[in-house]
Structure 1
Amino acid sequence: MNTRSEDILKKVWLISALFLGLLPAFASTPAQADEEGTPAWSRQEASQIERTDDNTAPYISQEEIDQMAPNHWVWDTWPLRNRDGSVATVKGYKVIFALTAPDDVLPGKRHDMATIRYFYSKNGQDWKMGGEAFDTTDAYGSRQWAGSAMVEDDGSIHLFYTATGRKGNEQLTYEQRLALANGEMEVTKDGIEFSDWSHDIILTPDGEYYQTEAQSEGGILYSFRDPWFFEDKHTGETYITFEGNSAGQASDQVCQPRNIGDESFQQTHEAPDGSAEFNGNVGLAVSKSEDLTEWEALPPVLEADCVNQQLERPHFVMKGNQYYLFVDSHKFTFAPGIQGPDGLYGFTADSLYGNYEPLNGSGLVVANPEDNPFQAYSWIVLPNGKVISFINFVELGDVSLVDVGSQPESFQYEHFGGTLAPTLKLKINKNQTQIIKELDDGRIK
């Protein structure tokens, strides 16, 4: 069947599905989103951020830390999933991937030598460390940052990652491109093995929807990373979502009315100087090939201009007809005049390009406790409502996250977790969420 025939059949199916009620009645499209402006997380909404009993995670102490990987730090983590987003079980095994580095490296330097390793478990909780997911000499980037992974029914693997920097550069750079490794997975008597990897760069910032590094003008925390595979069950389309920054020269950025709030709020609120420099967004790209090596960039699904610089590790969870979009962010990446903790934030809409409403009114879903504000990070919400993360810096006292690197080396090692945090169980009901239980470290089953 040729491409034109496939497109016609897809359109016929979509029209039929709409009339049969299989799709949201007024599902918005990328073209509409581009014309009407990207849905925004506004300063008005973010000003309502507040810790509550429903969104504050239980305290993690230094005594609780139990390292899962011999001689290695472990942080950003993601499970091997099926095409529909569910956590995969392959011949009895669950698999997770994580960024790792030797634990004799200062915690703050681990990103400069990050390597993706895999772990496997039969009970989805007790993880055995495998090796590196692939030979890094064949991969793109001087190091590989976070992504996602999906297994097909035939055992083939799609491992998305962020290619950071370039091999051979004299100086360490933070250029970021989205990459894909296609390979094969085999279960042996000794555990899990991967082979036959091929690597492709699948997306680079275009300067139209997503800011290029040059456009950022050396500003704060440039981002084009964290590709997360996502299949829309309503349309069958295959996407990746990722973290980006709104396109354009940093010096030309301005706060639009939608970034501030409704008309009443706009009349009483003026964004402080420097707010327009904060321009995080959640990007989207659609697959154009069966092997997932060709992608087309689409408009962002959400922006946080004048609110937050980083919407990290964006990922979707489908529940009924609702799209739930989750992101991670830090206290120090909020724009001037906005106070928010290191936490998991979420939004919901009834279509992929819908008008995203912050969960719980403000967007805050999981916050670290006030007296241990940096204890965990990099939360990922699984379809079963479990939330995984890693233990970051615990019990710092009056030391802020940005000041940790200036502390004695012994202090940095002593207070860094570098392993999986206790899993949280999240209840999601329409536009409200609640932490209802704390589970064992790294439990996904």
Structure 2
Amino acid sequence: MKWNKVKKGKSFITAFIGVSTILTLIVSLSVSSVSAQENVDTFDWTRENVSNLTITDQNTAPKINKDELVGITSDSYIWDSWPLQDMNGHPAVVNGFKIIFALSVPKDVLPGKRHDTAEIHYFYSKDGKTWESGGPVFKDGKALGSRQWAGSSIVHKNGELQIFYTATGQKNETQLSYDQRIATATADISTTNTSVTFKNWSKHKIILEADGEYYQTKEQTGNKETSYAFRDPYFFQDPKTREKYLLFEANSAGKLENRPYKHAYIGSDEFRQNHVSPESSKAYNGSIGIAKAANNDSSKFELMPPLLEANYVNDELERPSVIVKGNNYYLFAKTHSEKFASGLNAPEGLYGFTSESLFGGYQPLNESGLVIANPTDNPYQAYSWMVMPNGTVTSFVNYVNVDEKDIYEIGEQSTEYQMEHFGGVLAPSLKISITRDETKILHEKKQGVFK
């Protein structure tokens, strides 16, 4: 299936050629509701939006005291984490067990190098407070790539686990590479009174790769661009239509030298009159992508145009996710302060957008998009926020009490300094309220609470 791009403002319309083609596709994909036409109105997150940002008590997280926290494993760091979710996005319970997944490395790895050897571990608990480590999710060496980055995990109605993850690099590579593809595999969940294991793994399969039309490929990424992304899948079943999707982090397609400038990237006519966009801003092209399931078992997906682009604004919108509250969709992503383009001053934090449609009409929450910011005197204390359907927000402890050093200066410090100031544990969760297009932090919850 091909989602053909037909311009109508920022809308893109899919079209199939010929009735016989449609019938063939429906039969071959074994789906009952592949739409012959679906519109995606890609939202431009603008420099004007970000310039509306204000740090307040309602969007600033409480300061974390790392010394008061405990790890769920004594021999490993963990960071990006997510719960096993049911098809509606809620944390699942399997035979009395809650299960979470997290990127992990041994504690002798330099924190700044953890992404070079990351693998997904899992943890299980009956009370959601005391967690047991199950070790690596993939114990057979059959995971794709040279290491795994963040993903999403669901339990099907038949009790089967399906995990989506980022396969980074190439298996058995001799030099570290940053190829990123989205992969999936399934397994049976086996429980006893005291343990959880995964058995009867399917073959791992790459299901999505950047296409160069909607999403930038690694080959299209130039030396002047600070990052490349096609990662962080998040499974979402739309409660309104029951259609299944994957959201993911990406970059707008094309090479830097061919990238157009559009007024829509900057903001309103009035704002543009008094705003200067540095030339270097052209290199920032983060996006939030989406793909639609093309079969019943969610093993085949077709790329669609992005839900959101941040051209001239930001180049890394990590771990996107979406929840539905009332009649509205709430789209979230997190990003680092240094990933904003020159001329924009925005904190490391969780950002969000809302619309009455999954496929367009988004507006930034709180006018700018900012939902949660780290404290100004502890700007890197937490990261990788994930919003649960009930408003609970989880994260992990990143770097704390860094004496006004920026993230690059932290990386230049001694091994002892980096390990002393890195958390690598679950952070205290937060509770936020969401009312139409406004949010606020209500209170802090206990460490590692996912519900």
Is the shorter-chain TM-score for this pair beyond 0.5, marking a shared fold? yes
Q: 62-71 or 268-277: which moved more?
A: 62-71
The offset of 1:188, in angstroms, is 1.3
1:200 partnered with 2:205: yes
* SS class of match (1:280): strand
1:240 partnered with 2:246: yes
The offset of 1:372, in angstroms, is 0.3
Tell me the C-alpha RMSD between the 2 structures: 1.9
Say if 1:283 and 1:302, in contact at 8 Å, map to a contact too: yes
Aligned to 2:64: 60
The offset of 1:10, in angstroms, is 3.9
1:442 partnered with 2:415: no
TM-score by length of 2: 0.91
Q: 264-273 or 422-431: which moved more?
A: 264-273
Aligned to 1:262: 268
The offset of 1:404, in angstroms, is 1.2
* SS class of match (2:306): strand
Aligned to 1:322: 328
Q: State how far apart, in whole Å, the 1-side matches of 2:409 and 2:333 are.
A: 24
Say if 1:56 and 1:366, in contact at 8 Å, map to a contact too: yes
Say if 2:411 and 2:418, in contact at 8 Å, map to a contact too: yes
Which residues of structure 2 form unaligned runs of 5+?
1-22
The offset of 1:32, in angstroms, is 4.9
Alpha-carbon displacement from aligned partner over 1:237-258 (angstroms, at most 9, x marks no partner): 1000000000000222233111
The offset of 1:384, in angstroms, is 1.1
Q: How does 1:126-275 map to 2 (within 5 A)?
A: 126-135=130-139, 137-198=141-202, 199-218=204-223, 219-275=225-281
Alpha-carbon displacement from aligned partner over 1:256-287 (angstroms, at most 9, x marks no partner): 11111112222322311110100000000001
Task: Give the letter for the 2:209 counterpart.
Answer: T
Q: State how far apart, in whole Å, the 2-side matches of 1:337 and 1:31 are.
A: 33
Q: State how far apart, in whole Å, the 1-side matches of 2:254 and 2:137 are.
A: 36
The offset of 1:70, in angstroms, is 1.5
Say if 1:71 and 1:102, in contact at 8 Å, map to a contact too: yes
Say if 1:61 and 1:395, in contact at 8 Å, map to a contact too: no
Cα distance change of structure 1 residues 74 and 182 upon mapping to structure 2, 3 Å threshold: same
Aligned to 1:364: 370
Task: Give the letter for the 2:228 counterpart.
Answer: Y
Q: State how far apart, in whole Å, the 1-side matches of 2:40 and 2:116 are.
A: 40
Cα distance change of structure 1 residues 403 and 41 upon mapping to structure 2, 3 Å threshold: same
Task: Give the letter for the 1:280 counterpart.
Answer: G
Q: State how far apart, in whole Å, the 2-side matches of 1:110 and 1:42 are.
A: 32
Aligned to 1:48: 52
The offset of 1:321, in angstroms, is 1.3
Alpha-carbon displacement from aligned partner over 1:78-101 (angstroms, at most 9, x marks no partner): 000001111111111111000000
Task: Give the letter for the 2:74 counterpart.
Answer: P
Residue from 377, 387, 392 that aligns with 2:383: 377
Cα distance change of structure 1 residues 307 and 98 upon mapping to structure 2, 3 Å threshold: same
Aligned to 2:18: none
Q: State how far apart, in whole Å, the 2-side matches of 1:106 and 1:394 are.
A: 16
Q: Percent identity?
A: 46
Q: State how far apart, in whole Å, the 2-side matches of 1:383 and 1:96 are.
A: 16
1:342 partnered with 2:348: yes
Residue from 376, 395, 403 that aligns with 1:397: 403
Task: Give the letter for the 1:277 counterpart.
Answer: A
Q: State how far apart, in whole Å, the 2-side matches of 1:305 and 1:421 are.
A: 31
Cα distance change of structure 1 residues 78 and 208 upon mapping to structure 2, 3 Å threshold: same
Residue from 406, 420, 434 that aligns with 1:428: 434
The offset of 1:126, in angstroms, is 2.1
Q: State how far apart, in whole Å, the 2-side matches of 1:341 and 1:136 are.
A: 40
Task: Give the letter for the 2:200 counterpart.
Answer: D
Say if 1:30 and 1:298, in contact at 8 Å, map to a contact too: no
Q: 214-223 or 414-423: which moved more?
A: 214-223
Alpha-carbon displacement from aligned partner over 1:125-178 (angstroms, at most 9, x marks no partner): 222111211225101000000000000121111100000000121100011000
Residue from 99, 103, 113 that aligns with 2:103: 99
TM-score by length of 1: 0.92
Say if 1:62 and 1:395, in contact at 8 Å, map to a contact too: no
Task: Give the letter for the 1:204 counterpart.
Answer: E
Cα distance change of structure 1 residues 4 and 221 upon mapping to structure 2, 3 Å threshold: closer
Residue from 311, 318, 322 that aligns with 1:312: 318
Q: State how far apart, in whole Å, the 1-side matches of 2:317 and 2:340 are.
A: 10
Task: List 4+ stretches of structure 1 deviating above 4 A.
Answer: 1-9
Say if 1:65 and 1:417, in contact at 8 Å, map to a contact too: no
